[in-house]
């Protein structure tokens, strides 16, 4: 497979690594959630492909995990789509680009990077939803966040590394 690299900054989708705004309008929240939805589509595609192309006895367990992650990401996409519709928006139909590689560890690092950004974004979405008084929506996103953090742990474990620190200094207590 050819390697396809993209920047960690996704400004067109509203999910840059530097966004920390918690007071957003409903329209802005729709835009941000559509960025999250595009990332969920990306994760579905990544996990489906990676789970099938990963080879080697040492990766059999993680390949099984990635298959489970794909179905969980689909459930996340459905939940986020429902929230966008609830807010009066139109869910996006386009995924973010999927990175590929012939190197298994590199593929797992791609997934870990994406999961880390997803966790950071969903932490922001929870605060943003609560800022709008959308507490039920914040709860749905919290449930997704729990699974996304589990994905992060699974991938870091498979890579035999620590889970990356993704909380920015202003967000720390």
Q: Is residue 18 part of a domain?
A: no
Q: How many residues does the chain have?
A: 173
pLDDT of residue 171: 52
CA distance 16 to 2: 25
Q: Is residue 4 part of a domain?
A: no
Closest CA to 28 of 89, 82, 116: 89
pLDDT of residue 21: 66
Q: Is residue 12 part of a domain?
A: no
* 80, pLDDT greater than 50: yes
Q: Is residue 9 part of a domain?
A: no
pLDDT of residue 22: 73
pLDDT of residue 168: 60
Give me the CATH number covering residue 130: 1.20.1260.10
Q: Is residue 1 part of a domain?
A: no
Q: Is residue 14 part of a domain?
A: no
* 4, pLDDT greater than 60: no
Q: Is residue 117 part of a domain?
A: yes
Contacts with 31 (C-beta within 8 Å, 6 or more apart), sequence order: 14
Query: 165 and 118 in contact (C-beta within 8 Å)?
Result: no
* 18, pLDDT greater than 70: no
* 167, pLDDT greater than 80: no
Highest mean pLDDT among 18-32, 82-96, 153-167: 82-96
| Domain assignment of residue 50, given as a range | 23-166
Q: Is residue 173 part of a domain?
A: no
Please spell the DSSP secondary structure of 102-147, one letter per residue.
S-HHHHHHHHHHHHHHHHHHHHHHHHHHHHTT-HHHHHHHHHHHHH
Q: How many domains is the chain built from?
A: 1
The arithmetic mean of pLDDT across residues 57-65, rounded, is 93
The arithmetic mean of pLDDT across residues 134-151, rounded, is 98
Model pLDDT for residues 99-133, shown as the tens digit of each residue: 999 999 999 999 999 999 999 999 999 999 999 99
The arithmetic mean of pLDDT across residues 45-55, rounded, is 96
């Amino acid at each position: 497979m050819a390697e396809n690299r993209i920047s960690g900054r996704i400004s067109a989708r509203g999910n840059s690594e530097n966004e920390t705004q918690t007071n957003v309008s409903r329209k802005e929240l729709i835009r941000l959630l559509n960025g999250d939805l595009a990332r969920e589509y990306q994760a579905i595609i990544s996990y489906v492909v990676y789970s099938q192309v990963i080879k080697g006895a040492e990766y059999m367990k993680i390949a099984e995990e990635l298959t489970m992650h794909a179905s969980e990401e689909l459930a996340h996409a459905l939940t986020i789509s429902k929230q966008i519709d609830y807010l009066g928006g139109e869910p996006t139909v386009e995924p973010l680009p999927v990175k590929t590689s012939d190197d298994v560890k590199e593929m797992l690092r791609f997934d870990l990077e994406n999961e880390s950004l997803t966790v950071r974004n969903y932490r922001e979405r929870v605060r943003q939803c609560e800022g709008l008084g959308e507490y039920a929506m914040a709860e749905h996103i919290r449930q997704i966040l729990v699974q996304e953090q589990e994905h992060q742990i699974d991938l870091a474990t498979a890579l035999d590394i620590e889970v990356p620190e993704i909380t920015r200094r202003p967000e720390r207590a």
